[in-house]
């Protein structure tokens, strides 16, 4: 029996069906009976492996125990048949060692025969190194869907063996064995056909019975790091919106992070004291917590569990470790057997007679035609932006230096409010110089009059008038050093802080001030392929990026006759008067708008662009 095994099997994509029908109560009774009748642990192990061989009709069954150094023994404690090639034993030992190291069931196929499987199931013992139960079996192609059920059976046997391997003498007479046996049976018999939530609740309750906890929650992965609550123990009903449900989901999601995802269970003392963990302990009035990931038969993470209790012993932890794989496999089976609403419809359709099916198809075709011919609202999607109805630009009143700026874009301003101030030092120096020139011109005129030089006196008089006008200009500039807002509104643009101390030219734009309230409107960019369907007076519904939960409306008041280029799109701008006087609206806000055009049939809405494209290419 020298067979090479390779290729780890992934059963996660297979549709699960029930394998050979096995009475779990009868199987539990058989396991308990052979334990009571066995004279020694070795005899009980041999009877256990022989029972597995008969149930699974395996080609070989091997049990690897532990040696004196508490490591997995190279030579098996039990093997059937007695003669197995050394190469096969070595391969099986490597597979068993991998099962102990990873903590999950290992499944490989034979190189020569894809229907031959080797399955290694770890046996977690209380406070002692793990052992491995391994079997080699053949499953025909048409029965390959029963592989998960076979793995489930092995996990049940391994979990039962974990309770007495290493402490044979003291456990036979305890009532605890009967309780644990019933808990394993409850886990395997948890599935209720057609009732997903009730099945998961029974599975969680079975895990609670096996571990002695007070509350067990099971969840399924929705994404790589998000777990949704699937069931609670104690037959508790739960509301996904309740605080306890949210808290459990957060704690289970945290179990899929870091070492915990790799299979390391976390106690309360090792848990990161996050808000969700603290809230859960307060809500459940628990003192200890266990959590970890759940895996299917192929070792893929499918969900997580949380267990809380007043006091959890080392034995409870060992049983939890032994039950993790069994619960994960059973939860995967329940999840796959869950029937979706469309599956009920499919089953109902298959049960109809031929004439009834034809009638159903007739009604379906009629319904589709009605849907496609029924008029639906035609909405023209466009980008939009809030714009002021009129804009006022604030510019430099004269050439000079800018002293300081008091506002910045986004600030609200009142009419007449000071926005900036020009530097007055240069103007005052110019005025002093002009005043000195004026005094000198007056003296020159008086001297000319005294000497009778009429021409010189006339020239001095002209110079005096020029200097007086220049003084008036300088005084006016001094009186208008402060640059004020022409209207009430908001500063739309302008970064004047960079211009402080810089010499400005006459009329240079400093900032833009736009009005608020009723003096703003919406500017909609209509694509050129939609302009034929847009008209003045049509209603517009829009949402802004800054107010995503507020839907506003208005009406088209004007469509610009000339198209503009916005990026790669050719658009026509339309002005929309906003119905609601929303004080939070600011110029420059952008969003998405929909222009409500006349209703069209769904067929036209879906296919008119394609039809128009065909006509254009055909030149029609």
Average model confidence (pLDDT) across the chain: 79
Residue 67, pLDDT above cutoff 60? yes
448 and 323 share one domain: no
Of 341-345, 495-499, 570-574, which one has max mean pLDDT? Answer: 570-574
Query: Rg for the chain (alpha carbons), in Å?
Result: 43
Residue 331, pLDDT above cutoff 80? yes
Stretch 495-514: mean pLDDT, rounded? 78
Residue 542, pLDDT above cutoff 50? yes
527 and 464 share one domain: no
421-453 residue pLDDT tens: 888 788 888 888 888 888 888 888 888 888 888
Say what the pLDDT of residue 175 is: 47
255 and 110 share one domain: no
For residue 258, what pLDDT band results from cuts at 50, 70 and 90? low
Residue 43, pLDDT above cutoff 90? no
219 and 284 share one domain: yes
Residue 270, pLDDT above cutoff 70? no
Residue 568, pLDDT above cutoff 70? yes
Length of the chain: 620
Say what the pLDDT of residue 412 is: 79
163 and 251 share one domain: no
Residue 501, pLDDT above cutoff 50? yes
Contacts of 267 (CB under 8 A, 6+ apart): 288, 289, 290
| Residue 189, CB-side half-sphere exposure with 13 Å CA sphere | 14
Task: Please report where in the chains the tokens 């006196």 appear, as a residue.
Answer: 457
Burial class (CB in 10 A: 0-12, 13-18, 19+), 519: middle
Q: How many domains does the chain have?
A: 6
441 and 589 share one domain: no
Look at residues 152, 169, 186 and tell me which one is the last residue of a structural domain. Answer: 169
Residue 24, pLDDT above cutoff 70? no
Name the residue with higher pLDDT: 137 or 345.
Answer: 137
41 and 156 share one domain: yes
103-134 residue pLDDT tens: 788 888 876 666 788 999 988 776 678 899 99
Stretch 515-527: mean pLDDT, rounded? 80
For residue 413, what pLDDT band results from cuts at 50, 70 and 90? confident
Task: Please report where in the chains the tokens 């090639």 appear, as a residue.
Answer: 85
Q: Distance (Å, rounded) from C-alpha 109 to C-alpha 298?
A: 13
191-201 residue pLDDT tens: 777 788 888 88
Name the residue with higher pLDDT: 135 or 481.
Answer: 135
- Within-domain flag for 164: yes
Q: What is the pTM of this model?
A: 0.44
552 and 496 share one domain: no
Say what the pLDDT of residue 63 is: 92
| % of the chain exceeding 70 in pLDDT | 85
299-329 residue pLDDT tens: 788 899 999 887 777 777 777 877 888 888 8
Say what the pLDDT of residue 2 is: 45
280 and 350 share one domain: no
Look at residues 116, 137, 169 and tell me which one is the last residue of a structural domain. Answer: 169
351-400 residue pLDDT tens: 888 888 889 899 999 999 998 888 888 899 999 998 877 777 888 888 88
Say what the pLDDT of residue 611 is: 82
Domain that holds residue 351: 342-373
53 and 192 share one domain: no
H or E, element range at 602 = helix 602-618
CATH of the domain at 136: 3.30.450.40
- Within-domain flag for 131: yes
Q: What does the block give as tokens for 427?
A: 């103007």
- Within-domain flag for 93: yes
Q: Which residues are paired to 527 by β-bridges?
A: 571
- Within-domain flag for 138: yes
Residue ranges of alpha helices (H) inside 212-302 are 243-254, 275-284
125 and 36 share one domain: yes
- Within-domain flag for 265: yes
- Within-domain flag for 379: no
What is the separation of C-alpha 31 from the centre of its chain, rounded to a whole number of angstroms?
47
435 and 324 share one domain: no
Residue 263, pLDDT above cutoff 60? no
Distances (CA, A) of 326 to 129, 210, 350, 448: 19, 12, 35, 122
Closest CA to 286 of 270, 303, 306: 306
Residue 31, pLDDT above cutoff 90? no
569-620 residue pLDDT tens: 889 999 998 876 666 777 788 899 999 998 888 888 888 888 888 887 887 6
Backbone torsion region of residue 322, taken as left when φ is above 0, otherwise alpha when ψ lies between -120 and 50, otherwise beta: alpha
């Amino acid at each position: 029996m020298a067979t090479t095994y390779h290729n780890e099997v992934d059963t996660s994509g297979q549709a699960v069906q029930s394998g050979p029908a096995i009475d779990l109560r009868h199987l539990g009774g058989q396991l308990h009976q052979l334990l009571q009748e066995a004279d020694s642990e070795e005899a009980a192990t041999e009877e256990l492996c022989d029972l597995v061989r008969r149930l699974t009709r395996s080609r070989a069954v091997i049990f690897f125990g532990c040696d004196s150094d508490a490591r997995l023994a190279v030579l098996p404690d039990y093997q059937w048949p007695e003669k197995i090639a050394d190469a096969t034993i070595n391969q099986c030992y490597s597979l068993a060692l991998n099962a102990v190291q990873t903590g999950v069931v290992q499944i490989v196929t034979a190189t020569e025969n894809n229907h031959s499987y080797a399955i290694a199931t770890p046996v977690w013992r209380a406070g002692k190194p793990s052992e491995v139960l391994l079997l080699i079996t053949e499953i025909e192609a048409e029965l390959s869907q029963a592989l998960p059920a076979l793995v489930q059976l092995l996990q049940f046997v391994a979990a039962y063996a974990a309770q007495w391997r290493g402490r044979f003498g003291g456990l036979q007479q305890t009532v605890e064995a009967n309780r644990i046996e019933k808990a394993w049976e409850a886990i395997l018999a948890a599935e209720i056909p057609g009732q997903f939530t009730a099945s998961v609740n029974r599975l969680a309750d079975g895990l609670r019975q096996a571990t002695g906890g007070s509350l067990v929650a099971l969840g399924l992965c929705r994404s790589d790091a998000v777990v949704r609550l699937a069931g609670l123990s104690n037959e508790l009903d739960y509301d996904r919106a309740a605080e306890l449900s949210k808290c459990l989901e957060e704690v289970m999601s945290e179990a899929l992070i870091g070492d915990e995802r790799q299979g390391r269970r976390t106690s309360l003392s090792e848990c990161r004291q996050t808000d969700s963990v603290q809230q859960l302990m307060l809500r459940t009035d628990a003192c200890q917590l266990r959590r970890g990931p759940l895996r299917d038969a192929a070792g893929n993470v499918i969900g997580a569990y949380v267990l809380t209790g007043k006091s959890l012993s080392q034995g409870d932890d060992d049983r939890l470790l032994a039950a993790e794989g069994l619960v994960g496999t059973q939860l995967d089976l329940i999840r796959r057997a869950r029937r979706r609403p469309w599956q009920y419809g499919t089953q109902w359709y298959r049960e109809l007679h031929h004439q009834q099916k034809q009638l159903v198809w007739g009604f379906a075709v009629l319904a589709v035609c009605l849907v496609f011919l029924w008029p639906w609202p035609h909405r023209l999607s466009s980008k939009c932006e809030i714009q002021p109805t009129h804009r006022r630009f604030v510019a430099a009143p004269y050439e000079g230096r800018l002293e300081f700026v008091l506002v910045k874009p986004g600030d609200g301003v009142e009419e007449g409010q000071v926005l900036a101030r020009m530097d007055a030092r240069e103007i005052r120096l110019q005025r002093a110089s002009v005043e000195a020139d004026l005094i000198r011109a007056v003296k020159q005129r008086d001297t000319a009059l005294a000497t009778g030089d009429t021409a010189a006196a006339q020239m001095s008089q002209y110079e005096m008038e020029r200097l007086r006008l220049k003084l008036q200009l300088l005084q006016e500039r001094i009186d208008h050093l402060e640059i004020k807002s022409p209207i009430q509104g908001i500063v739309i643009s302008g970064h004047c802080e960079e211009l402080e101390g810089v010499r400005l030219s006459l009329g240079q734009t400093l900032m833009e001030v736009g009005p608020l309230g009723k003096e703003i409107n919406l500017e909609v960019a209509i694509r050129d392929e939609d302009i034929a369907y847009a008209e003045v007076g049509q209603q517009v519904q829009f949402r802004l990026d800054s107010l995503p939960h507020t839907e506003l409306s208005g009406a088209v008041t004007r469509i610009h006759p000339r198209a503009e280029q916005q990026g790669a799109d050719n658009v026509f701008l339309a002005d929309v008067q906003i119905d609601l006087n929303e004080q939070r609206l600011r110029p420059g806000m952008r969003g998405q708008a929909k222009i409500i055009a006349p209703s069209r049939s769904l067929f036209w809405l879906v296919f008119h662009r394609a039809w128009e494209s065909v006509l254009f290419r055909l030149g029609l």
